[in-house]
Copies of this chain bind each other. A is one copy, B any other.
Amino acid sequence: MNKLFNSAVRVKILALLYGMECCEFGYLKERLKLTDGNLEHHLNKLENYELITQKKTVIRNKLKTEVKITKKGKDEFKNYLEEILRLSKSE
């Protein structure tokens, strides 16, 4: 299992993006109750591993970051979730 899942925050970010495909930085921040710095740190990690992409644009002097999950990100999250679910249903 990917070391990226050694962080509950990253798991939650991927979970949210898995359901939404893409969303804005501000939405993620609010929904997951994170600080700018913390969210940025984890998004950069996820981007380095090609699980998400970030597209930054400036609109009316304000930076807007659109975050999107990649195919690889979806697959990795799906595998993680399926493994946890499978284990939790053991007999």
Contacts and interface: CB of A to CB of B under 8 A. Distances in A.
Contacts of A19: 87-91
A48 interface: no
Contacts of A85: 15, 81
Interface stretch (A6-14, A49-57, A58-66): A6-14
Contacts of A77: 88
Nearest to A7: B6
A12 B84 contact: yes
A11 B91 contact: no
Contacts of A88: 15-16, 18-19, 77, 81
Interface of A: 1-3, 5-8, 11-12, 15-16, 18-20, 77, 80-81, 83-85, 87-91
